[in-house]
Amino acid sequence: MTEKINLYDLDLTELTQFLEELGQPKFRARQIWEWLYRHYTADLSDMHNLPQSLRDSLAGKACVSQLQIVSAQHSSDGQTEKILSQLPDGQYIETVLMRYDKRRTLCISTQAGCAMGCVFCATGQMGFFRNLTAGEIVAPVMHFARQLAAKGEHVTNIVMMGMGEPLHNFANTLQAVDRLTDHDGFNIGARKITISTVGLVPAIRRYADEGRQTPLAVSLHAATDAERNKLIPINKRWPITELMDACRYYIEKTGRRITFEWALIAGENDTVEQAQALGRLVQGMLCHVNLIPLNPTKGYGGGPSSREQVEKFQQVLAQYGVGSTVRVRRGIDIQAGCGQLRDRVVNG
């Protein structure tokens, strides 16, 4: 049996070509595109301005999504929801919706598993399985867009900080961004999508050359190679000096501020000495530091920094003229926080 085409995997040009091969006029592709990305339609039979014959033909050759929602969890405060989804080949990914005052932010995945092996990250602890296609990256966004629309709400922000390293899946990640930012489709602003990387230097430079408006966040977590090597294995390939050169290149090419992510681990990287090293490292750069008290995972014994230590860390950064904020922790009770996403079916 021929595998059905996932319509989310097609850009508008490819969708137009697919419809032409079915003997359909070009405008049918635009109609389907709007059903997918403006109306968040999950069922081909609901596309009622298409001829029944076309809907029947499409049903035999294509599908809106091959994503199956296995489970959904809600945090005790009602502000966070996490879904576990199964892909056609049996792999699983997790996606998180976080509710703030006026924002509805999605944390989405770009890979099943992750090859980076960051020691404090649950996804890194489970290993790498495969890249997601552009359609598989987009599908959970559409799921939540559909769910929010039923309540008169909409997705306001997207962070590519879920399972996987987005720049390790460079082409599919940016294709997904193109789907989501298309003015005639989902039409979320490019600056509302943040792409996170653990520090793939060539990919950061390549991303800078793309000239995109989507912001970049770099998971730094340590300001010296000795400390970062313990936490981020990829640092042994591209040490901090090379990483910072790439970050400066990004700022120079785009004129955009870069965000440095820093998971504060008690007694490990939350010391005054590390804060001073970080201050010296990024002083004068167009950047901001996002501090994240460590979220617990089964595979790592470190704990989050105390509020007092977090404040002290921020005070030191301020002495170097480096701005910082502390991320609001959400969904910790359902393992939906930063660094906690993993395959819950196989790995528990």
- H or E segment at 70? strand 68-74
Residue 298 has pLDDT above 80, yes or no: no
Match 């910072």 to its residue by tokens: 244
Query: For residue 329, what pLDDT band results from cuts at 50, 70 and 90?
Result: low
Flag the least confident range among 39-48, 278-287, 293-302: 293-302
- Which residues are registered as beta bridge partners of 82? 73, 96
How high is the pLDDT of residue 295? Answer: 73
CA distance 214 to 46: 33
How high is the pLDDT of residue 124? Answer: 74
Determine contact, residues 138/179, Cβ cutoff 8 Å: yes
SS3 319: helix
pLDDT digits (tens, 9 = 90+) for 172-227: 999 999 999 999 999 999 999 999 999 999 999 999 999 999 999 999 999 999 99
pLDDT digits (tens, 9 = 90+) for 62-109: 999 878 998 888 877 878 898 989 998 999 998 999 988 889 999 999
The answer to whether 338 is a known catalytic residue is yes
Q: Which member of 107, 121, 247, 338 is catalytic?
A: 338
How high is the pLDDT of residue 299? Answer: 67
pLDDT digits (tens, 9 = 90+) for 139-169: 999 999 999 999 999 999 999 998 999 999 9
Query: For residue 125, what pLDDT band results from cuts at 50, 70 and 90?
Result: confident
Residues whose CB is less than 8 angstroms from the CB of residue 172 and which lie 6 or more positions away in sequence, other chains included: 110, 131, 132, 133, 134, 137
How high is the pLDDT of residue 65? Answer: 85
Determine contact, residues 208/254, Cβ cutoff 8 Å: yes
The answer to whether 114 is a known catalytic residue is no
SS3 169: helix
How would you classify the pairing of strands 216-219 and 80-86?
Answer: unpaired
List of domains in the chain = 5-63 (1.10.150.530), 68-334 (3.20.20.70)
The residue among 214, 139, 120, 127 whose CA lies nearest residue 170 is 214
- Which residues are registered as beta bridge partners of 5? 62
Q: Which member of 63, 81, 94, 114 is catalytic?
A: 94
338 compared with 321, residue with greater pLDDT:
321
How high is the pLDDT of residue 2? Answer: 63
User: Residue 169 burial by CB count (10 A; 0-12/13-18/19+): exposed, middle or buried?
Assistant: buried
In angstroms, how far apart are the furthest CA atoms of the chain? 69
